[in-house]
Chain A
Amino acid sequence: DIQMTQSPSSLSASVGDRVTITCRASQGISNFLAWFQQKPGKAPKSLIYAASSLQSGVPSKFSGSGSGTDFTLTIYNLQPEDIAIYYCQHYKSYPLTFGQGTRLEIK
């Protein structure tokens, strides 16, 4: 199975900051990577697919990059509504697996 490792596991930043979350795959996955945002008690919301493609309706403050084994999610101009847990997920092969999540908080 392909293991997905996110860092950091938690992150505290100020309103207006730029935040970067990293996801590393245990083997190459090309660009078969998605990013999700999950708020308490809610289903995940897809932000990014194919490593860098923004889902329809997702604001451009979210940006994804990377290929192979190393990927990043960048959030620009952090706002209180961005407080959530962020997950990466690969879809190179079965089983699909997820990172352990990055909890984002406001300072």
Chain B
Amino acid sequence: QVQLVESGGGVVQPGRSLRLSCEASGFTFSSYVMHWVRQAPGKGWEWVAVISYDGNKKYYADSVKGRFTISRDNAKNTLSLQMDSLRAEDTAVYYCARDLTAHGDYHDLTYWGQGTRVTVSP
């Protein structure tokens, strides 16, 4: 079955960096678009970034553009999110998510990991 396991969260000071990982299993990772989505404490959902199945296309939310970088290693079935210049408003639980269909343009976020918590605090 599809499994997505995030790691790398923690407490970090404003302006510092953190790298999140998402290990995928139970499916052909290299065939699927992958996303990062976050939920700030007591708040709603915010889509963060997406990467194409081959890693050639990436899109970001305006709130993280220029600070966050999404990447993937299809040989290791791993999705990453490099977060630089972190701000207090980046505090959230970060989830990786996968769409239902391979190579698709339908970003229905069918499968989710359990999330990893990031706290940006002095």
Please name all residues of chain B whose beta carbon is closer than 8 Å to the beta carbon of A100 when the two chains form the complex. Answer: 44
Q: Residue B108 contacts which of A45, A49, A101 (CB distance < 8 angstroms)?
A: A49
Chain A interface size, under 10 / 10 to 19 / 20 to 34 / 35 or more = 20 to 34
Mostly, the A contact residues are loop
C-alpha spacing A66/B47, complex, angstroms: 23
* Residues of A with C-beta under 8 A to B47: 94-98
Cβ-based interface call for A44 (8 A): yes
B106 x A43 contact (CB < 8 A):
no
Q: Does A71 contact B (CB under 8 A)?
A: no
Is B27 located at the chain interface by the 8 A CB criterion? no
Smallest distance from the beta carbon of B31 to chain A beta carbons, Å? 18
From A46, A50, A96, A100, name the one whose CB has the most chain B CB atoms within 10 angstroms.
Answer: A96
Please give, as numbers and ranges, the residues of chain B lying within 8 Å of A32 by CB-CB distance. Answer: 106
Q: Which residue from chain A places its CB closest to the CB of B112 in the assembled complex?
A: A43
Residue positions of B touching A, CB distance < 8 A? 35, 37, 44-47, 50, 59, 61-62, 95, 100, 106-115
Chain A interface (Cβ < 8 Å from any Cβ of B)? 32, 34, 36, 43-46, 49-50, 55, 87, 89, 91, 94-101
